[in-house]
Amino acid sequence: MNKNMKLYFSKGACSLAPRIVINELKLPCEFESVDLKSKQTNSGEDFLKINPKGYVPVLITPNGETLTENAVILQYLADTTNNHDLLPPLKEFAHYEVLEWVNFITTELHKAFGALFNQQFPQEAKESITIPLIQKRFAFVNTHIKGTYLMGDRFTLPDAYLFVMLRWAKHFKIDLSQHTNLEKYFNELLNRPSIQQSLKEEGL
């Protein structure tokens, strides 16, 4: 490890999840915002040269490598710091359960929200297809939260990611009132210092 790492982010976007984990781990990190429309970074760099896929998050590791994809960046952060609270060790089955949640969030929830952010996607389809699908996914999570956090007493990687999905649900005024465990869970997460710090850093 040579330098501080760097996270390219956009305010309130999914890049908030790795920021929460970085703050959870108290890692030194530089943050630079990206204008996702113009694909310019705050310092005027062409973001497409940093990530040709054109999206955040992008993590530049202390060795200068470039890593994309939330699900993998989250694992990288826990693995390289040997943090077994966020991600239990390989030999424990809970390791795979944590990754199962991360994968579920990235493919079944995050991807579904993509349609709501897409202004070209018809409003009627958002209401009749996308929102009911998101509700179905949240209903599943609601009945599978094991404790204060998804996995029980311990805050793990998917909690950071799910927090972002729940924030988006509020933003799009998706009614979560029937998912009482989720409401309680979200309020608990709002009190977590790493989450408070991350929201403050992004001016949210």
Ligand X SMILES: N[C@@H](CCC(=O)N[C@@H](CS)C(=O)NCC(=O)O)C(=O)O
Question: Which residues here bind ligand X, judged by CB under 6 A?
Answer: 10, 13-14, 36, 54-57, 69-70, 106, 110, 114
CB of 135 to ligand X, least distance (A): 20
Contact 163, 17 (CB under 8 A): yes
CB of 153 to ligand X, least distance (A): 27
CB of 114 to ligand X, least distance (A): 6
**In the numeric block, which tokens belong to residue 56?**
């955040």
Residue 46 or 92: which CB sits closer to ligand X? 46
Question: How big is the CA angle at 89 (ends 87 and 92), to the nearest 5 degrees?
Answer: 105
**In the numeric block, which tokens belong to residue 46?**
């062409």
Residue 55 or 149: which CB sits closer to ligand X? 55
Residue 183 or 202: which CB sits closer to ligand X? 202
CB of 163 to ligand X, least distance (A): 13
CB of 107 to ligand X, least distance (A): 9
Report the distance separating Cα 198 and Cα 47, nearest Å.
22
Residue 37 or 173: which CB sits closer to ligand X? 37
Determine how many CB atoms are found less than 10 A away from the CB of residue 146.
Answer: 11
Report the distance separating Cα 57 and Cα 34, nearest Å.
10
Residue 114 or 147: which CB sits closer to ligand X? 114
Contacts of 23 (CB under 8 A, 6+ apart): 193, 194, 195, 197, 198, 201
Phi-psi region of 54 (alpha: psi -120 to 50; beta: other; left: phi over 0): left
Residue nearest ligand X by beta-carbon distance: 55
